[in-house]
């Protein structure tokens, strides 16, 4: 590794607020298989195995954080929230914030096809970087680093609007816990044609649980489902 490349990697270390004991772990994490295929003489390994490990480590850290933050969430809600938090798009966004694309080693063909900006490659590289930290310092240190660089988890009151399909989640909850399904009924339409407001009533087991309103029936149903789901999870239903 030449001096210039090492300096580039040190810049990423500063953004991560972590200093590698073995800088070659980070170099491997940033090496795509296409680069190895075109540069076998470089003596490097690609990051595919590290992606696999990093995905597992990230999942464990996120699961740990979710369990502590959302004490009222069911296993199903925790799983859906974790899946949303670690999917390709947010990981790629974080990779861009860390400028990983600029220093990712790609083959010429992959690079000219826009590989440095592809969500999939960026997300995979970030997972590999997480694995590199884990291999360098273990789980506890990795967890500390991730807690600092990941976007904060939303408050429980906001989680259903940011991460979950409320209507699907409510239906699953009702089927599993209450052995019934929610029923939505349009009760009112108001306002001029260009700005109508729809009001929907939500019943569960013939009990009016919530109402919702919005510029469309879908929006009104979603609002009612969100309110009902929050109430059920908080144990406020009678």
Domain limits, the chain: 3-154, 165-233
User: What is the radius of gyration, based on Cα positions, of the chain?
Assistant: 23
For position 238, what pLDDT does the model report? 45
Q: Does domain 3-154 fall into CATH 2.60.40.10?
A: no
pLDDT of residue 234: 73
Query: pLDDT at position 236, please?
Result: 47
Buried b / exposed e along 152-170 (16+ C-beta atoms within 10 A)? ebbeeeebbeebbebbebb
Cβ-in-10-Å burial (0-12, 13-18, 19+) of 35 comes to buried
Helices (H), 17-69: 23-29, 33-38, 48-69
Between CA 127 and CA 53 the distance in angstroms is 8
pLDDT at 187 over 50: yes
Asked whether residue 155 carries a pLDDT value surpassing 90, the answer given is no
Question: Which residue among the candidates 27, 46, 51, 127 is catalytic per the annotation?
Answer: 127
Residue 28, pLDDT score: 96
Instruction: Give the mean model confidence (pLDDT) for residues 122-126.
Output: 96
Q: Give the pLDDT score at 237.
A: 40
Choose, from 27, 46, 55, 230, the residue flagged as catalytic: 55
In eight-state DSSP terms, residue 71 is T
| pLDDT at position 218 over 60 | yes
Task: Tell me the average pLDDT of the chain.
Answer: 89
Under DSSP, the state recorded for 195 is: G
Note if 55 is an active site residue. Answer: yes
Using the predicted structure, report yes or no on whether residue 124 has a pLDDT greater than 50. yes
Whole-number pLDDT of residue 160: 61
- Tell me yes or no: is domain 165-233 CATH 3.30.160.20: yes
Whether the per-residue pLDDT at 163 is higher than 80: the answer is no
Q: Coil, helix or strand for 165?
A: coil
Token pair in block for residue 152: 């904060």
* Mean pLDDT on 24-29: 96
| Contact between 46 and 32 (Cβ < 8 Å) | yes
For this structure, is 127 an active site residue?
Answer: yes
For residue 134, pLDDT over 50 is answered with yes
Pick the closest to residue 168 from 185, 186, 182 (CA basis). Answer: 182
Q: Which of 58-72, 132-146, 169-183 has the highest mean pLDDT?
A: 132-146
């Amino acid at each position: 590794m030449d001096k210039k490349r090492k300096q580039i990697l040190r810049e990423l270390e500063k953004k991560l607020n972590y200093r590698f004991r073995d800088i070659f772990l980070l170099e491997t994490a940033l090496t795509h298989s296409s680069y190895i295929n075109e540069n076998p003489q470089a003596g490097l390994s690609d990051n595919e195995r590290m992606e696999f490990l990093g995905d597992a480590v990230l999942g464990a850290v996120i699961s740990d954080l979710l369990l502590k933050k959302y004490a009222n969430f069911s296993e199903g809600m925790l799983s859906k929230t974790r899946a949303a938090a670690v999917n390709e798009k947010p990981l790629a966004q974080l990779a861009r914030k860390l400028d990983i694309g600029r220093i990712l080693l790609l083959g010429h063909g992959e690079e000219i096809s826009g590989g440095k900006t592809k969500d999939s490659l960026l997300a995979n590289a970030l997972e590999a970087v997480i694995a590199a930290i884990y291999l360098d310092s273990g789980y506890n240190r990795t967890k500390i680093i991730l807690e600092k660089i990941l976007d904060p988890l939303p408050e429980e009151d906001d989680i259903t609007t940011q991460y979950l399909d409320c209507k699907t989640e409510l239906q699953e909850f009702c089927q599993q816990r209450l052995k019934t399904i929610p029923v939505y009924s349009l009760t009112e339409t108001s306002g001029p044609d260009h700005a109508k407001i729809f009001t929907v009533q939500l019943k569960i087991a013939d009990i009016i649980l919530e109402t919702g309103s919005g510029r469309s029936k879908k929006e009104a149903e979603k609002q009612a489902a969100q309110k009902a789901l929050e109430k059920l999870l908080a144990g406020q239903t009678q």
